[in-house]
Amino acid sequence: MSWLRRSLAFFVRCVEVVPSPCCGEKLKVIGSRKRISRNATGEVKLLALRRLRCTGCRKIHHELPDCLVPYKRYESTCLEEVVSEEEAGTVVAADDSTLYRWRSWYNELTTYWCGALSSIAVRFHQQPMEVSSTPSLSARHRIGQIVGDAPGWLARVVRPITNVNLWLHTRSAFLSADAFGRLSS
């Protein structure tokens, strides 16, 4: 899975020259943006994410540390634990409606994530994933086939998809043909 490791670059601090996710040009650091994250106990952390500008098209990007999922306030590991639970538990200090939203978000987007990851693999000229299309396979199982089951799997899903600007903003968003069209262009 070398394509997954290669796509790490955008998220690693202190790497000076990383290609932009829009046109593959250099990114210039132009400042930072404050971002709040919460851990499993609900404790709030304030992070400063670097603002980066593409030297090709001048589009602004924000660095995303491994611990975060775009548009989610809780750390990636919290979301990962909650959506991995067989039965609803209390591993993360968040209210029930938040936990419910995370599970719905996960269930609705898993198929999209699988498709996006497979397309990225093709785009970077890697072998397409041998993902079983058996409908009885759980969403978790299908994702596991691509990024593995070890802790941190959600971050491994988020990173490459975000790097190519295909992360969906809301759980109700659905895949447009356009999104995959961009991948193959």
User: Cβ of residue 123: shortest distance to Zn ion, in angstroms?
Assistant: 16
Q: Is 91 in the site for Zn ion (CB under 5 A)?
A: no
**Tokens encoding 40:** 């499993």
- Among the candidate windows 6-14, 53-61, 99-107, 156-164, which touches Zn ion by CB under 5 A? 53-61
Number of residues lying near Zn ion (CB under 5 A): 7
Q: Is 118 in the site for Zn ion (CB under 5 A)?
A: no
User: Cβ of residue 84: shortest distance to Zn ion, in angstroms?
Assistant: 35
Q: Is 56 in the site for Zn ion (CB under 5 A)?
A: yes
Give the chain as a 3 state SS string. Answer: CHHHHHHHHHHCCCCCCCECCCCCCEEEEEEEEEEEEECCCCCEEEEEEEEEEECCCCCEEECCCCCCCCCCCECHHHHHHHHHCCCCCCCCCCCHHHHHHHHHHHHHHHHHHHHHHHHHHHHCCCCCCCCCCCCCCCHHHHHHHHHCCCCCHHHHHHHHHHHCCCCCCCCCCCCCHHHHHHHHC
User: Cβ of residue 20: shortest distance to Zn ion, in angstroms?
Assistant: 5
Identify which of residues 12 and 60 has a Cβ nearer to Zn ion in the complex: 60
Touching Zn ion, residues 1-20 (CB under 5 A): 20
Contact in structure between 82 and 101 (CB atoms under 8 Å): no
Q: Is 57 in the site for Zn ion (CB under 5 A)?
A: yes
Among 23, 88, 137, 173, binds Zn ion (CB under 5 A): 23
User: Cβ of residue 21: shortest distance to Zn ion, in angstroms?
Assistant: 8
Among 18, 22, 49, 183, binds Zn ion (CB under 5 A): 22
State the residues that interact with Zn ion by CB under 5 A. Answer: 20, 22-23, 54, 56-57, 59
